[in-house]
Structure 1
Amino acid sequence: KRSVFDGLLAQDVAAVLIAIMNPYDEKKVKRALLSRMLGYTLTNLNQFERQTDGLGQFISVFSEIREIWFERHFLAAWQYCLRYFDVWRNLVRFDSRDNERSVVNLRHLSDLLSQHSGKYQGPKNLLNWYLKQVASPSDREWELERSLSTDAGIQLMTIHQSKGLEFKIVFLLNANGSFREINKTLNFSTKETINEMTKQVEQQRVIAIDDKTALSEIEVQQHQSRAQAEQNRLWYVALTRASHRIYTVLNKGKTETTSGVNFWRVQPTLFSHISATDEPLLTSKPLPYKEDREVVVELLAIPQPQLKLYPRLKTSFSALAQHLTKQQALDVLATYTNNETAADDEVLVVESINDIDDLSNEAEKIPWIARNFPMGTHAGNFLHEIFEHLDFQDQSSWDLEIYRRFKNDYSTLKKQVFEKYQALLGDGIREQDCEERLIADVKSWLNDILSTPFGNEFMLGQLEPNTYLSEFPFYLALSDQVFASQRIHQLFQEYDIFIPTLNSAESARFLNGSIDLVYQSEGKYYIADYKSNFLGETVQSYTQNEIAKNMSQSSYWLQASLYLVALHRYLKERLHGYDIEQHLGGATYLYLRGMTGQENMGVCHWQPSPEFIQRLDAMLGYYAVQKLA
């Protein structure tokens, strides 16, 4: 037996799980679709590419399965996936020898994933565990392949190994082969002796070294007769292992010998049967077994664009930012990575921090937790997820939400903060005390953020649950022509908005993104974006002017513009009587470390003109409309 993780099916399961966790990554989705489980072919994928929505239908399905996994349980999501894609039928769609093995292995893998989902909390941890098993399969008993309905298929064994077992069908190979002892060392014989006490003749067994010079011919014949009788009894065992049918394969030219099963064939009272017959000898090589496979069709693929903006997990801004060029030494621009997350567009600008801090030694500093909370994408993702699941007005669940985030997905982040607490309070502080203080400090920080007024005395803490949406996803349709990067750059210059020069790029169909927060206030709809960028330790580092500089260096004006265009298109389709001047608000960028409760600190609000949004909307274009025209 081999490990259930050692095989193509285990790799296909891994591909499907990865696609569920990354539903907006087209490469991962395509790999899952081409697996035996989902049953799609290159021809199917080529047809999808020609459709308007491309892989959009599958992206939506994988995204829905991902939500079920996060909100309910792995087993519920996995069963939904198996039913939706009709996986069980796909596995046995073609006549193949390994159909039953594939079905049994998939059930086995599903059981193992379900069992370990309770041990490894969080989908990411469960997926990482599974990938480790596939990468390094072993021979642990619980991961060995299960037996098939035919008792592990065809089993090869000696007659001695079959003792006590029974099978429906048995094949006996070399059933009439000559018997010859191998490596004989002892000779067993008998002789007659007179018992001195009883004076009667008795049979006595003699065991002697197999030396032909010392043994008589009678002793050798006695041993051979004894060994032949034992061999006949062994073949009797072989002939009685089948409960339904037995096939004996005989060697050509030896059908008349009395070796092997031929000894019992001449015993009519023991092994005669009405269905027993002799098959004719094979005179030619049997035809090889051929599985029914689909005919491979040669594909004539259309050349792909040099740079194609595939749908991303969180923001399309990062995909665009990979084309930006540095203009100055202080311009630190966002870079694109394959695995985008909510905080991938956040940039740490170190050069502009020290000047302010050095000149303001007496200035008020931001809270300790905001100064010392780790920097980088990992920390930014934590804060994004907190705000995604936070109830702005009900604090009863805040402690539990913060605790669960650190425990399930951000244990490394918690460890980094603990080290800073130990440096501040001494190594003697207990871990439980660190944890309680961490939750209290983060909760206090969240209170400061939600109570920071901006605009017309507006605060996030005023938002009712039915007046905002967290992580608002969108698909922004684009023209299928060459991306109008130069025209977009000129548009920003015309409105005195600095963004670095955009290089030319080719795009396809649509951009995908997710807005951190969309909220309604006084009849207008606004967007907000959380930033964990560290600009300095003092409050003066997070004034509107300093944030505006960072937004220019990080090209966040472009990001805000794309988000507002997406919201504009959505409201135009869904809001009855929509008017851009009346209903579309602006973009608010929230630099979380600088939001201390003081008015407009850590906040930059931008209200572009309706004309700017409409012109940018026209430059981006509409793929579907142009195709139908």
Structure 2
Amino acid sequence: EFNTHKMPLDGFVLIFEELKLTWSKRGFPAMLKKMLSTFNVETNLISMPDKQGQRRLSNIKHLSELIGRQINTSKRSPESLLLWIKRQFNKATADPSEDTGLRLETDDDAVKIQTIFTSKGLQYPIVFAPTLFRLNPRSYSNINEFHDEDGKLTITHKKFEDQSTIANERELVEIECELIRQIYVALTRGIHRTVIVALDHGKIIKGSERNDPPEYEMLGTLGKILRLPFIETTEDDSQSIRVDITASPNRFQNIPGIEPAVEIVRKSSANVKQLVTEPITLTHPAPMPMLDTTLGHSSFSTLAPSSDATQENITGSFINEAKNRDSETAEQPGEPQENPTGIFAFPAGAKTGTCWHDIFENLQFDADEQTILRVTEEKLKTHGFLDNNPEERITTTARMVQRVLTTPLPGMNGCEPFTLSAIPLKDIKVEWQFSFSANNGRKTSELIELLHAYPEYAPVADSLPEWNRPIPGGYLTGFLDLMFRKDNRYYILDWKSNRRSGRQEDFCFAGMTEEINAHHYWLQYLIYTVALNRHLNDTLKNYSYDKSFGGIYYIFLRGVDGEINADGKPNGIYADRPPERLIKDLSAILGDF
């Protein structure tokens, strides 16, 4: 019922078109998850007054599992899958399978089989622990691993180590301490009753293919903890003994780092005699080795002065952060335009940036007007921008794309201006990813000191007196929006969707410089230049920075209007070509080349 969702029919059409696109790009499970979330299915079913929500939800999950299996095994398209589902409603054509039987909606009352490790922190009314008697310290290899008196991990080989007996004893002590902790966890999961099992030791020996030590017959570690009785072998002896455990605050109080545990209540038996063993001494587990967090992957996004990354998390950034889909996510300083129109009517943030990136990444730069309109409409629809004023948004965006492709880019280092429409597809590389080995132990203060030596970058350096972040070792990673070649020179281009205050005049050279400095894009393109310079040096014969590197362009898409500003430069196009000496010095600081 559409009225309950307060959404018109065409709104549902758009939602299901987007779901279909998700299915084709990411698969059925991703589509289903998105659909259930969009319509809040789980919450709505559980809150239904007939109390059958759990039943219906279980059916949906069961059906999704069957459908997913059918897609994987039969490689069905959405249309083919729909026909298959229709056949399943007819018993005569349905696929026979035990998997289609009705499932229980909940397994809360089912017996749960879990390992000791997964049960930690959980509790159950009744617990059966039938195999604890098998936990016994033993070493199965020729390698001894233990911690010495100073707590350092020591590894020895039994064949060559003079102290092999001592090493073996130390290893067994550490193993037994860990087994005691595991047994403690198992014995403290039960709320009302815990049942452990001790098989007849005679039966064990007869059925064993290995030579077990006497401690195995006497329940080993478990026996030491619980003071369990030794089980004699008689003709009428039972093959197991049941021991109940009840809550008590006075047990296991000497085990480091754990709460008081349980008390044993023994069942009387004519065939059981008591065996008292010597108490064992427990030691704290050895500290875990410290991992070197100074190595890993980092990027401009985590290294920039505005980033909140620290030395502990800077190397753990995901590769996707290196793509930096326009860090500008909100209105910029200044007086915003009250009712923005045209290209400035698109919202600020990553969603717009991602959409416009997608257009340029899927468009040949020499495309005609109709092709530009078609690709623009397709991408705006994909990214959800055609819900309001679709014709206006398509036209506005297509005009922006045409202006960007036909506005001359300023020439650098003696080159003539040129347009992107003159760049053939074979000379374009989209989303070029790089990773280069980074120096460990350097700091960003060294970059600031270096920039002070170059007048064009000195104002940037002066604005960051306290930027002294460690440059992590490992790898510096990044993605160039676009790398292209023109007249045997290689260029870096980055698309920017920044909105600023929503006025065209904000995208003159001074306004763009302010934006470059505010978001530290200068650091981004310097890192990009270091990476590309190194790549070209390794892959081109007779490479020369002066003759082969063209420069960088940061194109602020909203600001490109085809006009030349008062500085004699095109609006919306920021160009720079860092000095070769600066790039070489930066490479020495950033890269382990």
Q: Provide TM-score, normalisation by structure 2.
A: 0.49
Structure having greater relative contact order (Cα 8 Å, sep ≥ 6): 1
